Chain A
Amino acid sequence: MSDNVVKLHYDIDAEDFTTAGEASSGVKKTLTRLGVNPEVIKRVSIAMYEAEINAVIHANGGVADVEITPERVTVVISDRGPGIPNVDKAMTPGWSTASNTVRELGFGAGMGLPNMKRYTDEMYVESEVGVGTKVTLIVNIVS
């Protein structure tokens, strides 16, 4: 089935906040082109966009690797940022360490990770303080 697998790679640039979201936008376009169910597309788009924004505002950017198979969409976003000291706490709706500057940009509501969890079928957060964070988001196309 390897010919049915689409793999995408994006560098998430943090230097220009205005371009944040381009990777998620690209994935949304690809999923639309592939004719994936619109509800699945929306769930992947929102979850990936939240993760992409997190990489920009907390970790000075990172990389996104996306794998699309007929069964599922897997998004892995990795950064070399400061890491998350307490992942359980970060999963609490409303919990945020974002600065006022980030809030002025419209983020830092403390809903990023909870939103990612809500819209995915599986979510894994691997994080080490001082090393970085890897977030894996999986949305099933066929349940």
Chain B
Amino acid sequence: MLKVSEIVKILDAEVLTGHENMDLEIYSGCGADLMSDVMAFVKESVILCTGLVNPQVVRTAEMMDIKVLCFVRGKIPGEAVIELAKEKGITVIATQQPLFICCGLLYSNGIKGRGVWD
């Protein structure tokens, strides 16, 4: 488990929205650029790391009850995407780290929960 504030520190990330959620506890994560792959595994208290920056990332997070989005590889989504996340109560952070390194850092620091494939 990691708090969002710890994740921000580990990934040297910038908080784009959801500054009030820094104490939120995250137990599991996923890294993907294809949203249907994300939706194949249901988990709880999730961070989604992705290089995709369109509004459908926020929609996917909304449907999956994903609490935190982390945009990787230095990608910053447009204002409309951040606004949509804000409206849905989803915290958004951005890091320069590539996806693989981002997932590795989070896993080795304690986010080890995974979804179940039936």
Contacts and interface: CB of A to CB of B under 8 A. Distances in A.
Interface in B25-60: 33-37, 39-40, 42, 50, 52, 54-57, 59-60
Contact of A25 (B35, B52, B59): B59
Interface of A: 17-18, 20-21, 24-25, 28, 38, 42, 45-46, 49-50, 53, 103, 105-112, 114-115, 118
B6 interface: no
Is chain B's binding surface mostly helix, strand, loop or mixed?
A: helix
A109 B42 contact: no
Is chain A's binding surface mostly helix, strand, loop or mixed?
A: helix
Contacts of A53: 56
Contact of B54 (A18, A28, A38, A109): A18
Contacts of B80: 18
Contacts of A46: 39, 42, 63-64
Contact of B34 (A38, A45, A108, A118): A108
Contacts of A112: 36
B14 interface: no
